[in-house]
Structure 1
């Protein structure tokens, strides 16, 4: 529970996932940073699909009001029961006492096919109903929403229409929610973080692709894809070239990249945080969006192999639209040409980001003001954010 005596704003974060996916953990950290930027130091509690992974009492497992009566049900069943029986009393009390409720950024609200709809609804629909109940103090941080089909789309639109702000990080999500007056375009939280950086962006990187040491080669982050088309052919080409160090961005639950990485890697893959601590900056080629964005934040130039709308949105916001490829159609030759272009003119690469910062910073100010307005709900949403 929240402390009784703290004068700091009490903030509840919904829709968090697990620390095993480093991109999801990054988004939780960035959500907290964004709220602190607007409100100063806060007292946070975070509702997660896998709270035990954090090993911290500030992270609360998403579970149902009948959870105490089904002690032997697994975690996913307990979450799905929230759709029918509501949240556990502990979570209801946290929501009641919170000064602000925010949904962590990401791409979890989708239902393009039956299995995806069931998974998304089981983990998130109950949280959306909780968010609707406290809509006057609820804000959805930048995310990709959709696609949806039929009745599920109508349900999602109806629930989102009753919260104060919904920020989306790509134009297709805007189109999915067209007609809702509380939906606004905003870059991904990691893009906002990169735009805030006061460090001097690196202007050069060594030519590494011909190095014999695996730890001096470009880094490749991969994942399994649904409807992969030519993606696995590219991975075979990359394996045969022996020109990459393979790395892991996500390692648990339904986002476990360890098996596919070990299948293609010629040496034991390292986790991305370890690689980003290397003193030598290298090119990162990442199928995981937040593998690419966390690399940029650390000063490693990145190429993104995108498989969803969020990737194109983020790299377009950064002025790097020519450095994002469709993961399902990428070939090794395409990637090698971009690596060569980037390493030959890294000053130009970082200059694109620098030129995008002013626009990103102005959008971030809208988000900051929207958070403040949500806490002080006497203001109108239209007065602090524009589409």
Structure 2
């Protein structure tokens, strides 16, 4: 034997990389895995929209995930129309599981009777993998349909592969069927990385062992921005420049019409304050934009809010709808004095860039992040924000901008270190 080390094969699952925030998570994960396992580690990303993801992110290797965007035949479409769609996915799971058993038993050619060529190749990849990683992010919450993730985990476990959960915000789990299945999935997993204590509490409530849980920072904090040619503060030109990230609240309780309308009006109030009192230049620039294949486009809401502005204010406001890679978003946010962020990864990538953030929390993950960073004083909550309080907070931040820049500078290194802390806990 030569003794040469065989490169690790890692699968990343349950991701929709068309969300550039999730692309930032992916980029951080890849960087972490290469640090742990070497530059020759093979990383395959099973994305729910793999073809489109390949177009926008050529730096990653994508395959279509088993669940989440299945192509249905005539009979399956009929069953879905009759209300039996759950049986279609369940039968697909059993076919894939049995095909996996055949592959592991070295008689995979029988699987031609069960699944198509693409699925057989994906089964082979799963069978040869050393580690399966459920991507970081916020998708294991009951606002969303969790069935595709559940079947993906059950299939992974049927292959007897190590399963880990990367830095998550998740729960609470209130539905009995979810509690039962996730308790078992988490019990069989190797380790669960979480972003916050509240998510940990949600897992403990359903009986998950505390020994499996590790708190760490979002993997996007691991992105090394030092290689970017970033503008230095001494080179910054006036006037004051503020970027704003907004988002649809369709899946959330905060998306109720009255709350949503108030949210938009509060954004207007902050823009008016910034322009009238500080002659600021405002740019709507979010993380989820410029990708027509994705279900949402933040710049559409930006345009809607722009139209709500008084005409004399609009001359200082610009809507940027361009798609950017995660590193390009960091570079863009570095050119601003402040970012008003509803998207969590707009906030994280701003911090990576060294730019202060006024956070707007629409769910608990952003609240937890700002509390961890001792920046809860510069965070609003969609549930109780008002035009006056929003404008006053913005004014306070602008008047103390040097202080907040210094605070961000202090937390950058610690956040990167905490994101990379998972390296020592990954399987060898």
TM-score interval (norm. to shorter): 0.7 to 0.9
- Out of 249, 264, 273, the residue aligned to residue 287 of structure 2 is 249
- TM-score, structure 1 length as denominator? 0.77
Measure, in 2, the Cα distance between the counterparts of 1:299 and 1:165. Answer: 31
Query: Does 2:276 correspond to 1:221?
Result: no
- Corresponding residue of 2:25: 27
Q: Deviation per CA, 1:113-164: give whole Å up to 9, x if none.
A: xxx3xx222x311221133335652221101111222221221121111110
Which segments of 5 or more consecutive residues in structure 2 lack a partner in the other structure?
A: 97-118, 276-281, 308-317
Aligned length: 351
Contact persistence 1:319–1:356 (CA under 8 A): no
Write 1 or 2 for the structure with the bigger share of helix: 2
- Corresponding residue of 1:141: 166
Contact persistence 2:36–2:423 (CA under 8 A): yes
Query: Does 2:108 correspond to 1:85?
Result: no
Contact persistence 2:373–2:411 (CA under 8 A): yes
Residues 1-387 of structure 1: pairs in structure 2 closer than 5 A: 7-19=6-18, 21-41=19-39, 42-55=41-54, 58-63=61-66, 70=73, 81-86=88-93, 87=96, 88-112=119-143, 116=144, 119-121=145-147, 123-133=148-158, 137-149=162-174, 150-178=176-204, 179-180=208-209, 181-193=211-223, 217-225=241-249, 226-228=252-254, 229-239=258-268, 241-242=271-272, 243=275, 244-251=282-289, 252-266=293-307, 267-271=318-322, 273=324, 277-278=331-332, 280-356=335-411, 360=415, 363-364=418-419, 366-371=421-426, 374=427, 376=428
Contact persistence 2:245–2:287 (CA under 8 A): yes
Measure, in 2, the Cα distance between the counterparts of 1:263 and 1:304. Answer: 20
Measure, in 2, the Cα distance between the counterparts of 1:146 and 1:174. Answer: 9
State the shift of 1:368 in Å: 0.5
Decide whether aligned partners of structure 1 residues 355 and 84 sit closer, same or farther in structure 2, where only a CA change above 3 A counts. farther
State the shift of 1:197 in Å: 6.0
Decide whether aligned partners of structure 1 residues 265 and 84 sit closer, same or farther in structure 2, where only a CA change above 3 A counts. farther
Name the SS for the 1:271 alignment partner: coil
Decide whether aligned partners of structure 1 residues 81 and 110 sit closer, same or farther in structure 2, where only a CA change above 3 A counts. farther
Contact persistence 2:32–2:420 (CA under 8 A): no
Measure, in 1, the Cα distance between the counterparts of 2:417 and 2:319. Answer: 43
Which segments of 5 or more consecutive residues in structure 1 lack a partner in the other structure?
A: 377-387
Decide whether aligned partners of structure 1 residues 175 and 201 sit closer, same or farther in structure 2, where only a CA change above 3 A counts. farther
Name the SS for the 2:169 alignment partner: strand
Measure, in 1, the Cα distance between the counterparts of 2:25 and 2:354. Answer: 18
Measure, in 1, the Cα distance between the counterparts of 2:180 and 2:232. Answer: 46
Decide whether aligned partners of structure 1 residues 111 and 45 sit closer, same or farther in structure 2, where only a CA change above 3 A counts. same
What CA RMSD, in Å, does the superposition of the two structures yield over aligned residues? 3.5
- TM-score, structure 2 length as denominator? 0.71
Measure, in 1, the Cα distance between the counterparts of 2:386 and 2:234. Answer: 26
Contact persistence 2:218–2:419 (CA under 8 A): no
State the shift of 1:46 in Å: 0.3
Q: Deviation per CA, 1:78-118: give whole Å up to 9, x if none.
A: 99955442253333222221222212100111115xxx3xx
Contact persistence 1:204–1:343 (CA under 8 A): no
